[in-house]
Amino acid sequence: MELRNLVGASYQTFQERTADASVVLLHPRSHYRSMLVAQLMNDPEMRVFYYAMGPDDVNVQSFLSGITHDLANQHPTFGRHLNQVRFESKADFEEMLTAFVKDVEELSDEPFLLILDEYDRTDSADDLQAFVEQVIVRLSPDSKLVINSRTLPRLPWVSLIAQRKAVVLEDDQVVATDFYDMRTQGSNLLEVNALGPGYVLLNSHPVDTWEGHLPRLLFFFALDRPVVTRSEICQAFWPDLDNDQAVNVFHVTKRRLHKALDFDVLVHEGGYYRVNPDASVQYDIMAFVGALVKGRSPETQDKASAWQEAIDLYRGPFLQGHSDDWIVERRQEYQAGYLEALSEMARIRLEEGRQEHALGLLLRAVGENDRFEPIHRQIMQLYADLGRRSEAAGHYQKLVERLRGEGREPEADTQALYQSIMS
């Protein structure tokens, strides 16, 4: 196939499969990623802004200074919010983040791309990885980042994909498995389940010699991203300790982790920690998110099987029983994928005329998270369609009571649906 056709296939996949994403990663394995970037920039139908990471982009301040300078040449008013913020301490992080998102969203009134090229230059910048992650989750639907990198960026791609924030492209294919290039065959077989209380099997035997919960959670934390730094680990687990104390506790925790699994499960390479590539890892999170990607794909013929696989893999909230900040954040993100699977399966059952089955799925959804009112409206409408108007009214009244306890009222659409059912 001619090179032009191969790049064209990548471009078509980009157009068809990334509409809802806030960030698109052009996977480092992609053969045509740089050519795809060139085609995106040359497309007269597409509004594109471009920034190539430089050798000085080693922290948030340097990055913001560089991108403000370059984008101001492409859009004269870019940086007007950032220029009002002082770059003096970590306390300014939130203010800088808010200002940057405002500046990005004011680049155009129409949908646009912001391409971050040569992103691997930022690999060593912990604060910049955290900054970009927060930018991704805050961008409006009309703003989209495109990341081109020679290495897999140190961002939590699996959780971003779970909540429909990210798509990873490898030429003309959406990556749906093996997101972090983990081995699935090897002498040490680790079966890891994080959806629910969280447990690990080593060569089919449960691991129960953790010497506390920290070694076990450290292992789950290492699975969250392609690689992590020691400072990221210390900040997540021991933010209140000074650096030397946190490092000492980390090394003690790491030794206990290796003792529990009877081999060095974390290896240190090039300044980063990652799960030992000699280990064979079967991780339920990877399978769960892979099922979500498959269910979203227009190429999937049997979508019901894909959504059901995701539902079956979700055995409970992520690391249920723990309340660490990073765990609570991931729990909400994987829960969003679970609610999507339940909602999509309910839609399929409704199309099949199986209303009771659809109702059961939606009730499971609000049992998991009762803050999403569109699902409440679906439940009320289904009760009404089934001739169970009193149950629709009862469901609405319970929602009203909960919201009033928070000082809120139901959305206008929910109130209008209730009035319609009751009339």
* Digit-coded pLDDT (tens) for 154-210: 999 999 999 999 999 999 999 999 899 886 667 789 999 999 999 999 999 999 999
Tokens representing 230 are: 């020691």
Q: What is the pLDDT of residue 184?
A: 64
pLDDT tens digits, one per residue of 23-49: 999 999 999 999 999 999 999 999 999
DSSP string computed for 212-231:
SHHHHHHHHHHTSSS-B-HH
Q: What is the pLDDT of residue 187?
A: 78
Residue 256's pLDDT band, with cuts at 50, 70 and 90, is: very high
Question: Is 87 a residue whose pLDDT tops 80?
Answer: no
Which residues belong to CATH 1.10.10.10 in the chain? Answer: 177-327
- Model pTM score: 0.94
Average pLDDT of the residues of the chain: 94
Q: Which of 79-88, 241-250, 386-395, 399-408 has the lowest mean pLDDT?
A: 79-88
CATH architecture classification, 177-327 = Orthogonal Bundle (1.10)
Question: Is 279 a residue whose pLDDT tops 80?
Answer: yes
Mean pLDDT across the stretch 348-366? 96
Q: Name the helix (H) or strand (E) containing 275.
A: strand 272-275
Q: What is the pLDDT of residue 185?
A: 67
Residue 372's pLDDT band, with cuts at 50, 70 and 90, is: confident
Q: What is the pLDDT of residue 2?
A: 81
Q: How far apart are CA 223 and CA 69, in angstroms?
A: 36
Mean pLDDT across the stretch 239-258? 96
Residue 86's pLDDT band, with cuts at 50, 70 and 90, is: confident
Mean pLDDT across the stretch 393-405? 94
Which residues belong to CATH 3.40.50 in the chain? Answer: 3-174
CA angle at residue 379 from 376 to 382, to 5 degrees? 150
Calculate what percentage of the chain has a pLDDT beyond 70: 98
- For the domain made up of 3-174, give the CATH fold: Rossmann fold (3.40.50)
pLDDT tens digits, one per residue of 109-149: 999 999 999 999 999 999 999 999 999 999 998 999 999 99
Question: Is 1 a residue whose pLDDT tops 60?
Answer: no
Q: How far apart are CA 171 and CA 9, in angstroms?
A: 8
Report in angstroms the alpha-carbon separations of 36 from 12, 28, 33, 58, 251: 10, 13, 5, 26, 43
Q: What is the pLDDT of residue 92?
A: 81
Q: How far apart are CA 116 and CA 50, in angstroms?
A: 6
